[in-house]
Structure 1
């Protein structure tokens, strides 16, 4: 990764810190035009999750430029980990965290259902679309894509490698463009074993079967965007949750999911 000064001439200021950006990337260009975060209600949900407990670990899987870490107030005692396989954005992520959260660790890998090497479909037009799920490429046929091999870990293996213990409280953001269900299914047992755990899961490309599974295995809450509070979706079907989201009163992109100890556990 290059650290030439000219690489870091483009940035925005969020939460009092600089977020460095590659201005040739469409997603970065959108951030530069807005001069602010692209999804403020997602940030609000993430901040509520951060504030909901004393977390030992805050882990951002699919960190991109790091705005969900730089743009929020993190607990001082937490260990912060950013996971991002895209070599294009990694130098900017590293520079932003170096300044804003110097104790943060960056893992340059993907998270999947197997360890080893995975094929990432990198969107050269909009870095945030890069994914391990190749079928999504057709949705953005007007974008430029390339296939590259990246190192991959399962979420349980990642937690082990960074030193998470069973008695730790762990908060995870999982935004990996359609691969969330696969990763969550692989990790369910490990997440249940933690003393406390919550996962902010992106819904944008989550299929109906994965959403149904999520509602069964996790206590799911959504963000009421008018009152800025979390609202339980416990007992809802996929259709009911989808209807609630479509009404526009709750944040539409992500939910907060806490693993049930078993399927009969109430939230």
Structure 2
């Protein structure tokens, strides 16, 4: 299995960008070992997830093939967070920003009456997302939007589709290889989807947009202020955040305004970091570039439903 965390480590990322054909060979090897063939007509285009829900993928694209190899799970910590949150909180509103193929969005079944949104900028993936939605138990509750989530609505944004690995498509980062398709994508804010004052229940969200997380969160600030409670999962990559034009420390301060923040140091170990300065994160992780995931909650006690070890940040420094 090739996870996103592995792909994003500095050395591996450099190899991934500069030697994409080598990576394709490794993924093909994984496909061959699993299906005993490389004949595209004999390789499935869907995965039966552990929840019995179905996930459709492009079996010719590298990330789609990686999902086939890994039975639909490339981010274990996100899968655990998402399924546990749905079960424990029965959220009224679910928002997945950066759907990709939908391994998160379609991984579980949602409460009757929940409103569910998936937002994805890569137009090539929409057909697979729609197919997965049409066979999902909550299909009537799920709305899919092909747009770029940001802090402004109805603007045109240049979006770089990575044809080597769809999960690294971005508006802030252009890989070194030349397998890129530049397309204009309209922007949308999360707040623009809802009428003012129309959402006051529990919100579950995930934001994974390769460096534009700060703009997405800014564009849903009204929702965060009006909802009863919110719980979210955010990818945090300081290098990509800087490339998006955002000051990383300012984004971290924004998060501190709205949330109690927990930072992953391992899949089952979190450190609470909402009361410290951004610069202290370097000492906690021992790296110059901060690349991890954040679990954020508006109600501190909500963290107790997860089976995590919560460490004091002073013990890590």
Distance 1:222 1:31, change over 3 A: same
After TM superposition, the score normalised by the length of structure 1 is 0.79
Corresponding position: 1:211 with 2:249: no
Aligned to 1:254: 293
After TM superposition, the score normalised by the length of structure 2 is 0.67
Higher relative contact order (CA 8 A, sep 6+): 1
Question: By how many angstroms is 1:157 displaced?
Answer: 0.6
Counterparts of 2:189 and 2:99, CA distance in 1: 16
Give the SS at the match of 1:157.
helix
Aligned to 1:232: 272
Richer in helix (by share): 2
Question: By how many angstroms is 1:38 displaced?
Answer: 0.7
Question: By how many angstroms is 1:191 displaced?
Answer: 1.4
Aligned to 1:18: 54
Contact 1:215–1:236 (CA<8 Å) still a contact in 2?
no
Aligned to 1:113: 151
Which residue among 170, 179, 199 is the counterpart of 2:232? Answer: 199
1:146-177 Cα offsets, whole Å, 9 max, x none, are 211122211211234xx971323221111111
Contact 1:66–1:97 (CA<8 Å) still a contact in 2?
no
Counterparts of 1:223 and 1:164, CA distance in 2: 33
Question: By how many angstroms is 1:14 displaced?
Answer: 1.3
1:86-120 Cα offsets, whole Å, 9 max, x none, are 11111111111211232211112111121113221
The count of corresponding residues between Structure 1 and Structure 2 is: 243
Higher Cα Rg: structure 1 or 2? Answer: 2
Contact 2:265–2:285 (CA<8 Å) still a contact in 1?
no
1:171-202 Cα offsets, whole Å, 9 max, x none, are 11111111011222343243112222223211
Counterparts of 1:115 and 1:30, CA distance in 2: 33
Aligned to 1:156: 191
The RMSD of aligned alpha carbons is 2.8
Aligned to 1:43: 79
Question: Higher mean Cα deviation, 107-116 or 74-83?
Answer: 74-83
Question: By how many angstroms is 1:9 displaced?
Answer: 4.3
Give the SS at the match of 1:67.
coil
Give the SS at the match of 2:177.
coil
Distance 1:52 1:224, change over 3 A: farther
Corresponding position: 1:63 with 2:99: yes
Question: Higher mean Cα deviation, 237-246 or 31-40?
Answer: 237-246
Question: By how many angstroms is 1:238 displaced?
Answer: 2.5
Give the SS at the match of 1:171.
strand
Corresponding position: 1:141 with 2:141: no
Distance 1:195 1:216, change over 3 A: closer
Question: By how many angstroms is 1:68 displaced?
Answer: 0.3
Which residue among 177, 201, 207 is the counterpart of 1:174? Answer: 207
Question: By how many angstroms is 1:18 displaced?
Answer: 2.0
Question: By how many angstroms is 1:72 displaced?
Answer: 3.1
Counterparts of 2:223 and 2:185, CA distance in 1: 24
Question: By how many angstroms is 1:143 displaced?
Answer: 4.7
